[in-house]
Chains A and B, each alone.
Chain A
Amino acid sequence: MNTTLDNELIETVFERPRTLTETPTHYCPGCGHGIIHRLVAEAIDDLGLREKTIAVTSIGCSVFAYDYFDLDAIEAPHGRAPAVATAIKRCDPTRNIFTYQGDGDLAAIGTAEIVHAAARGENITVIFVNNAIYGMTGGQLAPTTPLGIRTTSTPGGRESGLSGYPFRISEMLATLEGVAYIARYSTHSPAQVLKAKRAIKLAFEVQQAKLGLSLVEVLSSCPINWGVNPKDSLDWIVKNMLPIFPLGEIKITEKVKGLLGEK
């Protein structure tokens, strides 16, 4: 109840989007998944796409994402979501398909599938949640883990000689002609959350306009595995991730810009 306001005409300016279910999530306190799920749901509702959307969920903390979206959903094997999504979209191009993948799913075991879905220019939308660590399995090294960071499989801190360097898969995918739009935003501030939302919405519009693959990478907190509290995890993103993963548009074709111009 909002009886704290005077009894005048009031409007709700923020509530749960239709496409997000009431189910309480299993995510840790402060985990970015909760924010990002909501942004995806909002974008789908803003564009009226719920009833033709199929979510392709993946393996990671978000493995139960299908419980939190009121959408048809298919669980893909680890790393294969872009292939699963490709098939559904090719069979029925009128559907709205997105994958929801973490950094292990997309940039480790699934590297081939995302590269080739992008190379083929599949009209799917990829939501790439980058928290620089393997959350579900308890905090191991990820392809995006910065040097020096301790994980359970780099207990002394990531060393390039032993474990290589983190890499920017979004920038790599941007080199492919089949990609129409790639952007990277974050969840460490309300301003970034709003930018991420706009990017996700644009990504779905890119799919509707059949312009090619759209991908939004969102930097996300993993307080438990980073060993910090939720508030400090926002600083962790700024201090450890932004120097490696710069924010903003990474690729935007003229046609996608045209979509923006039409607004």
Chain B
Amino acid sequence: MANRILMKGNAAIAEGAILAGCQAYFGYPITPQNELLEHMARRMVEEGRVFIQTESELSAISMVLGASAAGYRAMTSTSSPGFSLQQEGISYMAGSELPAVVVNVMRGGPGLGGIMGAQGDYFQAVKGGGHGDYRVLVLAPASVQEAMDLTMLAFELADKYRNPVIVLADGYIGQVAEPVELRTPSPAPPAKPWAVTGANGRKKNVIRSIHIQPEDLEKHNLHLAQKFAAMEAAEVRYQGWHLDDAELIVVAYGSVSRVAQTAIKQARDNGYLVGMLRPISLFPFPYKQIENLLGKVKAFLVPELSLGQMVEDVRLAVGKAAPIFQVHRLGGMVLSTEEIYKAIADAAQEVGLRPKDPLTLAI
């Protein structure tokens, strides 16, 4: 019998980091992820690892940069306003080729916004909220178990690519409590001969992102581009549900996908051939997987807790091949199953999809 305990998403992310061998955590309190910082304050100290509550998110991301440069697995967590402050640090780490895990438990925005969950930071996380040409892997958990698992994966991928990885949860995933199986601790990370540890008997290591000659900076950017291309090729993650028979596909991530699941089940009970493609990696986005559905899919529905940000990536994959419908809640309001169900039904009607006889459907 696996070791399962009831945990909040925030705590699961924290514990996942510890299982992944996170050696240093630096964070600043901000709702709705304070439990993550508090869990780390207790557990990191118990484990004899580094914990600092910093004076700001600026300082926290800079500390992650420092610990990472010295070869340690390091992480910070924050919510949307703090995530804005950390964009510079993320850009620096991408430019300096430093691994890092940055957790953003999204809340309503823009500005100070609200403290309830939202999905308004998709553009910022996925399209790069910091300056310059860089990409970061973005992982979006839809359950507390996944929050733990993807955090552990984030450390591995950060080291694999020497690049920051963002765990993008919404406030509801951070706050909900679900049973979680505690995974086995990750294996030790690979050696990091590039780290700054003191030039003991070797040539000095210098970690920096400035390349003042444009020819050098261009070369560096092309080198990074190769890395990003490798990430795109290898790290697409998604979950498909009823993709084989669906005529209407819901594309949703995070807590919205959970609500959508219930709505889809109800819709299928009523004879609609609905499925869901749930991106787990927001970068790289599962464009190809969506393209593969074109032809038999008559419509897409993209519910988001935002004005519609992921929908643009769906549109890149779908083009004009099928209409894309949207349904939104904003400001920290949640989409209900009724709202998503109604959106499915309305979309189906728009494109002329009739519910099938439920008895002929596989449930």
Q: 8 Å CB contacts to A: which residues of B87-125?
A: 88-89, 92, 96
B55 lies within 8 A of A113 (CB): yes
Q: Measured between alpha carbons, how far is A84 from B60 in the docked complex, in Å?
A: 9
Give 1 or 0 for each of B200-231: 1 = CB within 8 Å of chain A CB: 11001111111010000000000000000000
Give the segment of A63-71, A141-149, A210-218 that binds chain B: A63-71
**Residues in B neighbouring A69, C-beta threshold 8 A:** 204
Cross-chain pairs A/B with CB under 8 angstroms, 6 sampled: A54-B196, A72-B204, A86-B52, A87-B65, A88-B70, A91-B23
Q: What distance in Å separates the Cβ of B155 from its nearest Cβ neighbour in chain A?
A: 15
Tell me, yes or no, whether B7 is within 8 Å of chain A by CB: no
Closest 4 CB pairs of A and B: A87-B66, A84-B66, A80-B62, A75-B208
Given contacts A72-B196, A86-B63, A116-B55, 7 further A-B pairs with CB under 8 A are A51-B198, A51-B201, A77-B92, A80-B89, A83-B54, A86-B66, A88-B67
Option from B50, B55, B200, B204 in Cβ contact (under 8 Å) with A91? B50
- Given A51-B200, A84-B65, A87-B70, do A74 and B59 touch, yes or no (CB 8 Å)? no
Q: Measured between alpha carbons, how far is A233 from B216 in the docked complex, in Å?
A: 35
- Given A77-B88, A87-B24, A112-B56, do A56 and B66 touch, yes or no (CB 8 Å)? yes
Q: Measured between alpha carbons, how far is A155 from B64 in the docked complex, in Å?
A: 40
Give 1 or 0 for each of A51-66: 1 = CB within 8 Å of chain B CB: 1111011000001101
Q: Measured between alpha carbons, how far is A131 from B89 in the docked complex, in Å?
A: 27
**Residues in A neighbouring B205, C-beta threshold 8 A:** 72-73
Q: Measured between alpha carbons, how far is A83 from B27 in the docked complex, in Å?
A: 12
Tell me, yes or no, whether A193 is within 8 Å of chain B by CB: no
Q: Measured between alpha carbons, how far is A116 from B53 in the docked complex, in Å?
A: 11
Tell me, yes or no, whether A219 is within 8 Å of chain B by CB: no
A76 lies within 8 A of B70 (CB): no
Q: What distance in Å separates the Cβ of A127 from its nearest Cβ neighbour in chain B?
A: 17
B196 lies within 8 A of A87 (CB): no
Q: Measured between alpha carbons, how far is A91 from B71 in the docked complex, in Å?
A: 9
A87 lies within 8 A of B63 (CB): yes
Q: What distance in Å separates the Cβ of B194 from its nearest Cβ neighbour in chain A?
A: 10
Taking residues whose C-beta sits less than 8 angstroms from the other chain, chain A's interface range is: 35 or more
Q: Which of B's residues lie within 8 Å of A, judged by CB?
A: 23-24, 26, 50, 52, 54-56, 58-60, 62-67, 69-70, 72, 74, 88-89, 92, 96, 196-201, 204-210, 212
Option from A64, A83, A91, A92 in Cβ contact (under 8 Å) with B59? A83
- Given A54-B70, A112-B56, A116-B55, do A83 and B198 touch, yes or no (CB 8 Å)? no
**Residues in A neighbouring B200, C-beta threshold 8 A:** 51-52
Q: What distance in Å separates the Cβ of A139 from its nearest Cβ neighbour in chain B?
A: 20
Option from A72, A80, A86, A90 in Cβ contact (under 8 Å) with B198? A72
Q: Measured between alpha carbons, how far is A113 from B65 in the docked complex, in Å?
A: 14
B65 lies within 8 A of A77 (CB): yes
Q: What distance in Å separates the Cβ of B227 from its nearest Cβ neighbour in chain A?
A: 19
**Residues in A neighbouring B60, C-beta threshold 8 A:** 83
Closest Cβ neighbor of A21 among chain B residues: B204
- Given A112-B59, A116-B54, do A74 and B66 touch, yes or no (CB 8 Å)? yes
Tell me, yes or no, whether A85 is within 8 Å of chain B by CB: yes
B59 lies within 8 A of A66 (CB): no
B50 lies within 8 A of A90 (CB): yes
B56 lies within 8 A of A77 (CB): no
Tell me, yes or no, whether A195 is within 8 Å of chain B by CB: no
**Residues in B neighbouring A37, C-beta threshold 8 A:** none
Closest Cβ neighbor of A76 among chain B residues: B62
B206 lies within 8 A of A73 (CB): yes
